[in-house]
Amino acid sequence: MKAPERSGRSARRQTRQIVLPHPTNPVAVGGDAPVTVQSMTTTKTADVDGTLQQIYALYGAGADIVRCTCNEREAAEGLAQIVPRSPVPIVADIHHQYKMALAALEAGVHCLRLNPGNIRKPEHIKTVAQECKDRGVPIRIGVNGGSLDERLYVKYGGKVTPEAMVESAMTELAYFDEVGFDDVKISVKASNVPLMIDAYRQLSEVTDHPLHLGVTEAGPPPAGLVKATAGIAALLAEGIGDTIRYSLTADPVEEARAGRQLLEAMGLRERKGLDLIACPSCGRAEVDVIKVANDAQAALEGKKIPIQVAVMGCVVNGPGEAREADLGIAAGRKRGHLFVKGKVVKVVPEDEMVDALVEWADVIANEGIEGALGRADEGAAAEADADRAALLDEQGADANAAGQKVELIRKTTSA
Ligand code: SF4
C-alpha cells in the first residue's frame, strides 16, 4: 500500500548512509533509506530465550533494529547466542566499560551504541573505533542529556544545553576520525522536548552523519507517547532524522508499535499492519463505538494485513465520512453496514459486526479491493439507503442539536 502523496514535510536532509550488517536482513540508515524504527529489550541479555522472544515480538510490532544492553560479561555471552538467531540487526548498548564493547563485537553484534558521557578515555574510545573499523561494524554516538560529560556540563554553565550535547558528539567523532572510522550515526537525546529539538537541529547543521531521534526517559504512556511524538515528529517534519526510538516506561512492544505508527502516519513508511480508525461517536451513534472499535482492534491486530479499517457509529454519515478507508462498518437500526472504500457491500446483524470485519479483511488481503467490491451483496447498498432514510426520519437532520448551538453562538456574539 503506497504512502500518501501529500507529505506536509520539508525535504529530508541529506545524510550519508551506513548499513547494519545483518546477514539476511541488513538495515541501511541514512541517505535514501526509509526511516527505521528501533526499540530496546528489557530482559536480562543473559536470558537468551527471553530476550529472543522479546526481539521477535518487537520485530513483529514494527522494529527494524533492536538494542540489547551489554553491561556485564554474561550479557555479552548471551549476545553470542542471540545475534545469530535474531531476525533484525542487534545493537549492543555500552556504558562505562569499553571492554564490554569489545566483548559485544566478539559476540558478533551489528552495531554498538557508545555513550560519550560514560566512556571518556580517548585511548579506549579509539581502540573500540579501530576494532569496529576492522570488523565493518557501525557505532552510534549516543549522547544523553542526563549523562553529559561533566567537563562539558561545567563548561556550559552547569546546564545541559544543545551546544554542550552537540560538542559532546563532535568530540567523540573527532576521536573516531583519528583512526579513520566514520561508520557512525548520532543521537543527542534529552527528556526535555524543546532542548532535544534544538540539539538535533544544531547537530544536523554541522554533520551529515545519519541521526537517531529520541526523547529519552519519556515516561509511561500516554504522557510518554505524547512527549516522544512531539519531539520526534517535529524533527521529522523538518526533514531531520533517519531512525527513531520511543523510550517509554512500558512494554517495549509499545515503543516499536508507536514508532512504526508515527512513521506510517507521517507517510515515511508504507503501511505494514492494521490502521484502525473510529469515529468519536456523537448524537447519531447507533452502537457503542468504543467497544466495537476495541473488539475490532483485538480481532484484526494479529492478522498483519496492511489495511485501514473504520468503525463508524452510524450509517447516516459513516460510509461517507470514512470513504477513504479500505474497509469499514457503520451501525444503524441494529445492523452493521459493511463498506469497502465507501461502498456498502453487506449488511449484517449488529452482533456480527466484528466477525464481518475480520471476514472481509481476509477477502481484501486475498483478492484486493476490486475483488471485495465484486463480492458485494446485490441489495446491500439499497438496504443501507433505507436504514439511513429511516434513521433520518427518526433522528431528524440535526441529531447533534447543532442548530441550537449555532443559535446560541449567534446570540452570544451579537449581544
Ligand atoms: S455522524 Fe455517525 S459516523 Fe459521524 S461521528 Fe456521529 S455517529 Fe460517528
Q: How confident is the model at residue 18 (pLDDT cuts 50, 70, 90)?
A: very high
Span from the CA of 318 to the centroid of ligand 1 (angstroms):
6
DSSP letter at 352?
A: G
Residues 6+ apart with CB under 8 A from 132: 105, 112, 138, 139, 181, 183
**C-alpha separations of 67 from 70, 84, 91, 195, 244 in Å:** 9, 14, 4, 24, 12
Specify the pLDDT at position 342. 92
Residues 234-264: tens digit of each pLDDT: 999 999 999 999 999 999 999 999 999 999 9
Read off the C-alpha cell for 352: 456480527
What is the residue with the minimal CA distance to atom 1 of ligand 1?
317
Taking the C-alpha atoms of residue 106 and residue 98, their distance in angstroms, rounded to an integer, is 13
Most confidently modeled of 27-31, 285-289, 312-316, 397-401?
A: 27-31
Residue 65 confidence (pLDDT) above 70? yes
Taking the C-alpha atoms of residue 259 and residue 366, their distance in angstroms, rounded to an integer, is 27
Residues 321-353: tens digit of each pLDDT: 888 889 999 999 999 999 999 999 999 999 999
Q: Of all helices (H) and strands (E), which one includes residue 328?
A: strand 327-332
Span from the CA of 391 to the centroid of ligand 1 (angstroms):
12
Taking the C-alpha atoms of residue 10 and residue 121, their distance in angstroms, rounded to an integer, is 39
Backbone angles phi, psi at 189, to 5 degrees: -90, 150
Taking the C-alpha atoms of residue 355 and residue 342, their distance in angstroms, rounded to an integer, is 19
Q: Which CATH number fits domain 18-265: 3.90.1300.10, 3.20.20.20, 3.30.1280.10, 3.20.10.10?
A: 3.20.20.20
Q: Ligand 1: which of 321, 391, 395, 400 to mutate, most ligand atoms within 8 Å of CB?
A: 321
DSSP letter at 313?
A: S
Residues 6+ apart with CB under 8 A from 340: 326, 327, 328, 360, 364, 369, 372, 373, 376
Once rounded to an integer, what is the mean pLDDT over residues 43-55? 92
Span from the CA of 312 to the centroid of ligand 1 (angstroms):
6
Read off the C-alpha cell for 167: 560538542
Q: How confident is the model at residue 145 (pLDDT cuts 50, 70, 90)?
A: very high
Comparing 59 with 413, the larger pLDDT belongs to 59
Specify the pLDDT at position 4. 43
Specify the pLDDT at position 274. 85
Taking the C-alpha atoms of residue 317 and residue 247, their distance in angstroms, rounded to an integer, is 39
Q: How confident is the model at residue 233 (pLDDT cuts 50, 70, 90)?
A: very high
User: What is 275-395's CATH topology?
Assistant: Sulfite Reductase Hemoprotein; domain 1 (3.30.413)
Specify the pLDDT at position 5. 46
The one-letter amino acid at 148: L
140 in Cβ contact with 169 (< 8 Å): no
Residues 197-227: tens digit of each pLDDT: 999 999 999 999 999 999 998 899 999 999 9
Pocket residues for ligand 1 (CB within 6 Å)? 279-282, 284-285, 312-314, 316-318, 321
Span from the CA of 254 to the centroid of ligand 1 (angstroms):
29
Once rounded to an integer, what is the mean pLDDT over residues 130-149? 95
Span from the CA of 374 to the centroid of ligand 1 (angstroms):
27
Question: Which residue in the block uniquely carries the three cell numbers 542487534?
Answer: 90
Span from the CA of 285 to the centroid of ligand 1 (angstroms):
6
Residues 367-386: tens digit of each pLDDT: 999 999 999 999 999 999 99
Span from the CA of 289 to the centroid of ligand 1 (angstroms):
9
Span from the CA of 284 to the centroid of ligand 1 (angstroms):
6
Specify the pLDDT at position 278. 85
Taking the C-alpha atoms of residue 196 and residue 194, their distance in angstroms, rounded to an integer, is 5
Q: Ligand 1: which of 281, 288, 292 to mutate, most ligand atoms within 8 Å of CB?
A: 281
Span from the CA of 136 to the centroid of ligand 1 (angstroms):
56
pTM, two decimals, is 0.75
Taking the C-alpha atoms of residue 287 and residue 281, their distance in angstroms, rounded to an integer, is 9
Q: Ligand 1: which of 277, 284, 315 to mutate, most ligand atoms within 8 Å of CB?
A: 284
Taking the C-alpha atoms of residue 309 and residue 327, their distance in angstroms, rounded to an integer, is 5
Q: Ligand 1: which of 282, 323, 388 to mutate, most ligand atoms within 8 Å of CB?
A: 282
Comparing 105 with 410, the larger pLDDT belongs to 105
The DSSP annotation for 193-234 comes to HHHHHHHHHHHHHH--S-BEE-BTT-BSTTHHHHHHHHHHHH
% of the chain beyond a pLDDT of 70: 97
Ligand 1 atom nearest residue 282's Cα: 6
Each domain of the chain, given as residue ranges in start order, spans 18-265, 275-395
Ligand 1 atom nearest residue 318's Cα: 3
Ligand 1 atom nearest residue 322's Cα: 3
DSSP letter at 190?
A: B
Residue 164 confidence (pLDDT) above 90? yes
What is the residue with the minimal CA distance to atom 5 of ligand 1?
281
Once rounded to an integer, what is the mean pLDDT over residues 310-314? 93
Residue 1 confidence (pLDDT) above 60? no
Residue 277 confidence (pLDDT) above 60? yes
Specify the pLDDT at position 7. 62
Most confidently modeled of 56-60, 61-65, 233-237?
A: 233-237
